[in-house]
C-alpha cells in the first residue's frame, strides 16, 4: 500500500489518521496525499420558486480559511521524512475522496466516521478506519472476520499487504460458517507469505459482540472485515453487523465493500 489517501478535517481524530498514514508510508516506501475539501454546494440555497442563491462572501471566506489550513498541513508534513501532497477540492467529502481514491491503495478515515459506509460503496479502495490512537505499522497482530462470503474474501485479499509478518487469526462464528471453508482462506494467506491460525469463535451475544470480544482477547491491532448487512439493498448495506462493528470505538478496522 504505497498510495495513501487521508481524509482531512479539523477534529482531534485528524492527528491519529495522519500519524497512521506516515507510519504506513515509512513501512512501504509510500506517498501520503491529504485531501482538504471545501464543499461549496453547502453555500447554495433554493427557494420555493426554484430560484437559487449563492452566499458568495461565505464561500470566499471558507475557501480562504481552508487554503490557509492546507498550507498548515503542508508545513507539518514538510518536517517529516515521507513524500506527500495536499489536494484541495470543492466537493462533498464522499465525492472528493471517491474521486481521489481511484488510484489510491488505501483511504484512511476514523472509526465512527458518519460517511464511511457511503464511501465504501462509492469506491473499490479499502478503507482503514483508525481509532483514537495511530495504528502501529507494521501491524504485529491482526484478526480477519470470516464468513466465507464475497465481502469477506474481498477484505482478506485487500489486507494482505498489511499482514506480512503479523500474527494473524481468522475468526469465524461457529454456527455461521459459509460454503467457502476457512481452511481455504488460510491457504490463500499462506501463498502470500502470511501465516494465520483459524479461530472458531463461540457466540457470546450478538455477532458484533462476539467478534469484538475475540479481537480484544487476541490483542489485535487491526480487524479486517467485509462490509455487508442483512439487507442487500445499498441503502441498508451498513445496517447490520458492519455498522455495529464500526460504531465500536475499539480495534482499528480495514473495511472493504467490493
DSSP state of 42: G
**Start-end ranges of CATH 3.40.50.620 in the chain?**
3-129, 138-256
Tens digits of per-residue pLDDT, 113-143? Answer: 888 888 988 898 999 999 889 999 999 999 9
Tens digits of per-residue pLDDT, 163-182? Answer: 989 999 999 987 655 545 67
Q: How far apart are CA 41 and CA 17, in angstroms?
A: 26
Q: How far apart are CA 238 and CA 98, in angstroms?
A: 18
Q: How far apart are CA 68 and CA 63, in angstroms?
A: 9
Per-residue pLDDT, 234 = 43
Q: Could you tell me which CATH class the domain 138-256 is placed in?
A: alpha beta
DSSP state of 236: G
Q: How far apart are CA 241 and CA 227, in angstroms?
A: 9
Q: How far apart are CA 184 and CA 170, in angstroms?
A: 11
CATH number of 3-129: 3.40.50.620
Q: What is the pTM of this model?
A: 0.87
Amino acid at each position: 500500500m504505497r498510495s495513501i489517501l487521508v481524509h482531512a478535517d479539523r477534529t482531534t481524530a485528524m492527528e491519529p489518521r495522519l500519524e497512521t498514514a506516515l507510519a504506513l508510508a515509512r513501512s512501504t516506501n509510500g506517498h501520503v496525499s491529504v485531501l482538504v475539501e471545501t464543499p461549496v454546494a453547502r453555500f447554495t440555497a433554493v427557494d420555493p420558486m426554484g430560484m437559487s442563491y449563492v452566499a458568495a462572501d461565505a464561500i470566499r471566506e471558507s475557501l480562504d480559511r481552508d487554503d490557509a489550513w492546507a498550507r498548515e498541513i503542508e508545513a507539518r508534513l514538510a518536517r517529516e521524512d515521507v513524500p506527500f501532497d495536499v489536494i484541495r477540492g470543492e466537493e462533498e467529502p464522499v465525492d472528493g475522496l471517491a474521486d481521489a481514491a481511484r488510484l489510491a491503495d488505501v483511504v484512511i478515515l476514523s472509526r465512527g466516521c458518519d460517511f464511511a459506509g457511503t464511501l465504501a460503496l462509492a469506491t473499490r479502495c479499502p478503507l482503514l478506519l483508525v481509532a483514537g490512537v495511530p495504528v502501529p505499522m507494521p501491524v504485529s497482530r491482526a484478526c480477519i472476520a470470516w464468513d466465507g462470503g464475497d465481502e469477506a474474501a474481498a477484505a482478506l485479499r485487500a489486507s494482505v499487504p498489511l499482514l506480512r509478518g503479523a500474527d494473524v487469526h481468522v475468526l469465524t462464528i461457529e454456527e455461521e460458517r459459509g460454503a467457502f471453508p476457512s481452511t481455504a482462506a488460510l491457504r490463500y494467506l499462506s501463498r502470500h507469505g502470511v501465516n494465520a491460525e483459524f479461530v472458531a469463535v463461540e457466540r457470546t451475544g450478538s455477532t458484533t459482540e462476539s467478534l469484538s470480544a475475540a479481537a480484544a482477547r487476541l490483542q489485535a491491532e487491526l480487524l479486517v472485515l467485509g462490509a455487508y448487512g442483512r439487507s442487500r439493498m445499498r441503502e441498508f448495506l451498513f445496517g447490520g453487523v458492519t455498522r455495529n462493528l464500526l460504531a465500536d470505538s475499539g480495534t482499528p478496522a480495514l473495511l472493504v465493500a467490493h
